[in-house]
């Protein structure tokens, strides 16, 4: 017996109405038998499926079972809702538009939050992954740093068994890569500003980036990074450098010194990670590059040297921290052991805890996320408030309709459902429009924030939106429903609804006040952020940054002669005023900070002060025009004998000198050597204003140390565009002659300083947009409300005009109420803003005082917006010919 495919038949039976089953099945059976006879089983099967598909037409669909009373009523509700919408297009438009805007904002914000919360969450076993961080007890409180000593990872691996996998990480910045061809000649060269990391073999064991099957495309996962000078690339980097995804065995020279051989290729990694590496060099290479201290030094610490690990299941953090402390004590002196401790920090805090920071230089604290949620919530809420306001305001117009329904036999529940149906339709339209807006806006946000966000096409997004529709329906529909269903039919017919409205009038006022509060908060925040950003931009740096370009130079110390040549050549260019080598610029957004202790030789060792070490050459202070207020600058030749140090005024004061002059010629211990203070410089901004938590900010000591040079500064004589291009070309030509294997890259210091406050600048722009949206939504609501009120009051206004009221009098009659509400809102909003903004400002070392006019301006602005949105309709009403007004019935 030949059987047609059962599954297809039962599927057809499932979706086709029962009354077609017999006929359909019979014919298909017969047809299948024929088909098998003529074509053979395989072909028959295909034709059969095609025939079965021809049943997929609405005509055969299963009819709904006997429609229930509820469904009938619901259909009716929809019909009424649509009729109502058709008659009140403005009402629908205002609500849908406002809600859609609010929803779009909230969706984009939630996408941003998801992105921030998703950092490094994809690794398998991430709940057991930790970073080892360092907490030092220093004068003025604890200091939280990410850096651990270089041998940390290796020692944990060998000494503490409860760590499942451990890796050291050390990033390289501004690295020059020379791609060698088969003969060893330079084929191409690249400069990578970031993305290069020195890691242990076990890096991909600790972090699998969500690839359970493994990250490796080529190479030996067990060996690739175990030896010095092994190198692993991501697939796209391999393509970029070599044009192939399998460059195993090819060689890249790093910074003109060390040849690394490609030993592996991994899949491209996700971008939401604080381990943003695309090129992995074996950590052990450092042993060869820098020497054995990498294996042995337990004292010197760099913040870039970090250590990540994953614990075995069931191992407590406390227990591990104790073992870590024992390990630490074993290798260092008692003083250091007492002062420093190493503890585990859970991986999910790496992106949140601003005290430590991370390789991406960007943390998002729980507080920020909370503020973002609050903004999203309030934007939606103001839009929801519009709906409640308009719907309840209009409900009195529908009193007769509802009264009639009750007479015919509807109960309260039925009318509630009517209200819910209307709300549901409005929110659904708004969500669809909002989604469209959000999808349109997403690329702009991504581009603006320079991040990659997830798309909206995901299941949880759909669920979220459904939940939103439901929640909004219930929340926004409940109150209007209650009011609508609350009319007593007799009252409704006797036109006594005004009294019934009294109760909801209070609520409406409350909601308007709430909207004004939100709008004013946004305005105040916007102004405050703007002011603070302006304050940053106008702040005195304490040095002259105009027409200075900075160039990263290879840091190796044995290149002194090469550097000297470069110095001479650059310095002799006609448009270059001065050249200086230093570890970094006096201040910049991306700059390595280096700290050490300084103490007077007349005092005991416990009196040391933490201060920032700035490594400079003899022309640095001159080039940057940092004023020397006592003593002198560091002189050429002097550096070789005894270390000369120039300290800032602040440091001199903190060391206990009453005047800068006293500090000159004092002997100090600094950075492990005997030094003498030769001069005191005026204070300048060495770090961002944001780092207000640094106890030692402003304490800077500058000394001459060619080994630490990593950056050249050039002051140009010209700012004329043509000459500038010419001089830059000349500068580059000299560079290419000196360092043929390095890419030339320069930056204007101005730009690097501006980048300091990029986050705040962006924030001020975002706030402006959000404030505009919140105000717009609120004004939409006001406009709708006043339209309705004016319509209701047409007659009253007509009578008043007949009795002699002037247009301004009538205007003030309508406006008075809103102005009153606005002032109440102001009284509520100002203290909240004052408190919140001051908390935010306290993050900065140099902050503005919130001026009184900020609050007045917010009040004035919101008042203007309110009067504008209310005024037009009011004016229309006030100028209406009373005869027309009174004739309307």
Partner 1 sequence: MKGTHLGEFEELVLLTIAILYDEAYGLAIQREMEKQSQRKVSIGAVHAACNRLYDKGFLSARFSEASQKRGGKRKKLYRVTPSGQHALTQAKDLRQKLWDQIPGTAFQFSWKG
Question: In the chain, helix, strand, coil percent, each to 5?
Answer: 55, 15, 30
Q: Is 700 in the site for partner 1 (CB under 8 A)?
A: no
Query: Where on the phi/psi map is residue 613: left (φ > 0), alpha (ψ -120 to 50), or beta?
Result: beta
Span interacting with partner 1, options 26-34, 351-359, 542-550, 645-653, rule CB under 8 A: 26-34
* Least gap, CB of 30 to partner 1 (angstroms): 5
Question: Helix 6-15 crosses helix 41-53 at what angle (to 10 degrees)?
Answer: 10
Of 53-61, 175-183, 459-467, 540-548, which segment contacts partner 1 by CB under 8 A? 53-61
Distance, in Å, from the CA atom of 831 to the CA atom of 836, rounded to the nearest integer, reads 8
The answer to whether 187 and 179 are in contact (CB under 8 A) is: yes
User: Hey, which residues does 143 pair with through a beta bridge?
Assistant: 136
Tokens found for residue 851? 């001026």
Is 57 a binder of partner 1 (CB under 8 A)?
yes
Q: How far is the CB of 17 from partner 1 (least distance, A)?
A: 10
For 251, the 3-state DSSP assignment is strand
Is residue 27 involved in binding partner 1 (CB under 8 A)? yes
Question: Shortest approach of partner 1 to residue 266 CB, angstroms?
Answer: 52
- Of 28, 44, 106, 199, which one interacts with partner 1 (CB under 8 A)? 28
Least Å distance between CB 21 and partner 1? 9
Q: Of the ranges 19-27, 277-285, 508-516, 736-744, which one interacts with partner 1 (CB under 8 A)?
A: 19-27
Residue 25 touching partner 1 (CB under 8 A): yes
Indicate which single residue of 7, 14, 18, 23 sits in contact with partner 1 (rule: CB under 8 A).
Answer: 23
Q: Which of 29, 122, 464, 541 binds partner 1 (CB under 8 A)?
A: 29
Inter-CA distances, 238 with 188, 197, 235, Å: 13, 15, 5
4 vs 102 by CB, closer to partner 1: 4
Closer by beta carbon to partner 1, 60 or else 746: 60
Q: Minimal distance in Å, beta carbon 42 to partner 1? A: 20
Of residues 8, 24, 700, 753, which one binds partner 1 by CB under 8 A? 24
Query: What is the CA angle 459-465-469, rounded to 5?
Result: 145
Closer to partner 1 by Cβ: residue 50 or 87: 50
| Neighbour count for residue 231 (Cβ, 10 Å) | 26
Among 11, 13, 33, 297, binds partner 1 (CB under 8 A): 33
Smallest gap from residue 28 Cβ to partner 1 (A): 7
Pairing of strands 609-616, 667-670: unpaired
* Contact predicate 154/297, CB 8 Å: no
Q: Quick check: 332 binds partner 1 (CB under 8 A)?
A: no
Q: Establish if 39 lies at the interface with partner 1 (CB under 8 A).
A: no
Can you tell me the distance from the alpha carbon of 651 to that of 630, in angstroms, rounded to the nearest whole number? 13
Residue 15 binds partner 1 (CB under 8 A): no
Q: Interface with partner 1 includes 539 (CB under 8 A)?
A: no
- Hey, what are 111's tokens? 């996408």
Burial class (CB in 10 A: 0-12, 13-18, 19+), 777: buried
CA distance 370 to 644: 49
- Write each residue from 59 to 98 as x if it is in contact with partner 1 (CB under 8 A), else as -, in one continuous string: xx--------------------------------------
Task: Report how far residue 428's alpha carbon sits from residue 100's, in angstroms, rounded to the nearest whole number.
Answer: 9
Q: Are strands 628-631 and 306-311 parallel, antiparallel or unpaired?
A: unpaired
Least distance in angstroms from the C-beta of 4 to partner 1: 8
30 is a site residue for partner 1 (CB under 8 A):
yes
Q: What angle do CA 172, 173, 175 make, to 5 degrees?
A: 85
Q: Among 56-64, 564-572, 613-621, 709-717, which window interacts with partner 1 (CB under 8 A)?
A: 56-64
Options 30-38, 272-280, 323-331, 433-441: segment touching partner 1 (CB under 8 A): 30-38
User: In sequence order, what are the residues at sequence separation of 6 or more whose Cβ sits closer than 8 angstroms to the Cβ of residue 72?
Assistant: none
Contacts of 333 by beta carbon, 8 Å cutoff, 6+ apart: none
Interface with partner 1, residue 562, by CB under 8 A: no
State which residue, 56 or 560, has the beta carbon closest to partner 1.
56
| Residue 388 C-beta: closest distance to partner 1, Å | 45
Residue 25 or 208 with smaller CB distance to partner 1? 25
18 binds partner 1, rule: CB under 8 A: no
Q: Could you say whether residue 315 binds partner 1 (CB under 8 A)?
A: no
Pairing of strands 609-616, 700-704: parallel
Q: Which is nearer to partner 1, 51 or 743 (CB)?
A: 51
Distance CA 166, CA 180 (A): 32
Pick from 613, 615, 835: which is nearest to 712 by CA? 615
What residue has token string 């299963």?
62
Should residue 214 be labelled a site residue for partner 1 when binding is judged by CB under 8 A?
no
Among residues 51 and 845, whose Cβ is nearest to partner 1?
A: 51
User: Of the two residues 17 and 750, which places its CB atom closer to partner 1 in the complex?
Assistant: 17
Q: Are 386 and 780 in contact (CB under 8 A)?
A: yes
| Binding range to partner 1, per CB under 8 A, among 25-33, 265-273, 430-438, 691-699 | 25-33
Among 10, 54, 641, 719, binds partner 1 (CB under 8 A): 54
Distance CA(221)–CA(223), nearest Å, equals 6
- The number of beta carbons lying within 10 Å of the beta carbon of residue 689 is 19
Q: DSSP assignment of 434-453, as one string?
A: HHHHHHHHHHHHHHHHT--P
Shortest distance, CB of residue 43 to partner 1, whole angstroms? 16
Query: Which range binds partner 1 by CB under 8 A, 57-65, 87-95, 400-408, 777-785?
Result: 57-65
Compare residues 3 and 236 and give the one whose CB is closer to partner 1.
3
Binding site for partner 1 (CB under 8 A): 4, 20, 22-31, 33, 50-51, 53-57, 59-60
């Amino acid at each position: 017996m030949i059987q047609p495919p059962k599954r297809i038949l039962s599927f057809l039976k499932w979706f086709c109405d029962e009354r077609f089953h017999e006929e359909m099945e019979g014919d298909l059976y017969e047809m299948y038998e024929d088909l098998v006879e003529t074509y053979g089983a395989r072909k028959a099967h295909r034709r059969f499926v095609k025939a079965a598909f021809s049943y997929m037409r609405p005509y055969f669909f299963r009819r709904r079972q006997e429609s229930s009373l509820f469904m009938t009523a619901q259909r009716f509700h929809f019909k009424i809702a649509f009729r109502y919408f058709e008659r009140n297009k403005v009402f629908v438009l205002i609500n849908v538009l406002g809600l859609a805007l609010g929803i779009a904002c909230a969706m984009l914000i939630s996408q941003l939050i998801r992105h921030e919360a998703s950092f490094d969450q994809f690794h398998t076993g991430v709940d057991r992954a930790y970073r080892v961080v360092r907490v030092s007890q220093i004068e003025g409180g604890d200091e939280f740093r990410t850096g651990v000593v270089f041998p940390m990872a290796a020692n944990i691996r060998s000494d503490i068994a409860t760590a499942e996998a451990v890796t050291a990480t050390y990033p390289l910045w501004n690295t020059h890569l020379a791609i060698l061809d088969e003969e060893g000649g330079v084929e191409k060269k690249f400069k990578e500003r970031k993305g290069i990391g020195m890691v242990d073999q076990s890096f991909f064991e600790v972090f699998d980036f969500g690839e359970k099957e493994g990250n490796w495309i080529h190479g030996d996962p067990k060996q690739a990074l175990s030896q010095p000078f092994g190198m692993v690339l991501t697939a796209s980097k391999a393509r970029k450098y070599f044009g192939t995804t399998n460059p195993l065995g090819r060689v890249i020279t790093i910074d003109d010194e060390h040849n690394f051989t490609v030993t592996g290729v991994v899949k491209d990694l996700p971008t939401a990670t604080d381990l943003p590496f695309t090129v992995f060099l074996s950590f052990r290479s450092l042993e060869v590059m820098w020497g054995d201290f990498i294996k042995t030094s337990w004292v010197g610490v760099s913040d870039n040297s970090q250590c990540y690990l994953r614990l075995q299941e069931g191992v407590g953090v406390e227990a591990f921290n104790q073992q870590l402390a024992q390990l630490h004590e074993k290798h260092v002196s008692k003083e250091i052991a007492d002062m420093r401790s190493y503890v585990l920090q859970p991986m999910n805090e790496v992106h949140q805890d601003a005290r430590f920071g991370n390789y991406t230089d960007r943390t998002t604290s729980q507080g920020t996320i909370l503020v973002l949620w609050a903004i999203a919530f309030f934007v939606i809420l103001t839009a929801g408030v519009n709906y409640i306001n308009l719907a309840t305001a209009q409900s009195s117009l529908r009193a007769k309709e509802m009264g009639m329904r009750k007479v015919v036999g509807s109960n309260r529940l039925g009318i509630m459902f009517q209200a819910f149906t209307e709300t549901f339709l409005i929110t659904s339209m708004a969500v669809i429009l909002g989604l469209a807006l959000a999808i349109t806006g997403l690329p702009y946000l991504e581009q603006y924030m320079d991040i990659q966000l997830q798309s909206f096409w995901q299941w949880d997004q759909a669920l979220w939106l459904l939940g939103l529709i439901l929640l909004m329906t219930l929340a926004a529909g409940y109150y209007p429903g209650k009011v609508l269903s609350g009319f007593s039919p007799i009252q409704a017919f006797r036109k006594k609804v005004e009294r019934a409205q009294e109760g909801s009038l209070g609520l409406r006022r409350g909601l308007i006040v709430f909207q004004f509060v939100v709008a004013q908060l946004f305005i105040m925040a916007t102004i405050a952020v703007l002011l603070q950003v302006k304050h940053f931009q106008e702040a005195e740096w304490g040095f002259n940054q105009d027409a200075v370009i900075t160039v990263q130079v290879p840091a190796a110390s044995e290149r002194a002669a090469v550097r000297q040549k470069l110095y001479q050549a650059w310095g002799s260019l006609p448009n270059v005023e001065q050249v200086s080598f230093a570890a970094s610029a006096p201040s910049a957004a991306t700059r390595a900070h280096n700290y050490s202790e300084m103490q007077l030789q007349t005092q005991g060792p416990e009196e040391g002060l933490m201060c920032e070490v700035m490594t400079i050459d003899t022309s640095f202070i001159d080039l940057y025009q940092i004023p020397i207020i006592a003593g002198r600058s560091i002189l050429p030749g002097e550096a070789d004998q005894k270390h000369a140090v120039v300290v800032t005024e602040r440091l001199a004061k903190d060391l206990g000198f009453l005047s800068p002059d006293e500090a000159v010629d004092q002997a100090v211990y600094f950075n492990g050597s005997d030094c003498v203070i030769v001069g005191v410089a005026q204070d300048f901004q060495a770090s961002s204003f944001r780092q207000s938590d640094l106890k030692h900010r402003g304490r800077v000591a500058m000394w001459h140390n060619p080994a630490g040079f990593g950056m050249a500064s050039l002051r140009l004589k010209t700012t004329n565009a043509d000459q500038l291009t010419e001089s830059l070309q000349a500068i580059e030509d000299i560079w290419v002659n000196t360092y043929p294997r390095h890419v030339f890259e320069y930056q204007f210091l101005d730009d690097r300083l501006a980048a300091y406050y990029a986050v705040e600048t962006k924030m001020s722009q975002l706030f402006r947009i959000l404030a505009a949206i919140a105000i717009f939504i609120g004004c939409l609501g006001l406009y709708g409300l006043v339209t309705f009120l004016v319509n209701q009051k047409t007659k009253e206004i007509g009578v008043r005009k007949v009795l002699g009221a002037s247009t301004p009098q009538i205007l003030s009659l309508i406006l008075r109420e809103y102005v009153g509400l606005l002032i109440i809102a102001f009284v509520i909003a100002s203290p909240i803003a004052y408190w919140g903004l001051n908390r935010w400002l306290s993050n900065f070392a140099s902050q503005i005082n919130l001026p009184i006019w900020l609050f007045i301006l917010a009040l004035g602005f919101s008042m203007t917006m309110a009067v504008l949105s209310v005024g037009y309709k009011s004016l229309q009403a006030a100028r209406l010919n009373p005869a027309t007004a009174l004739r309307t019935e």
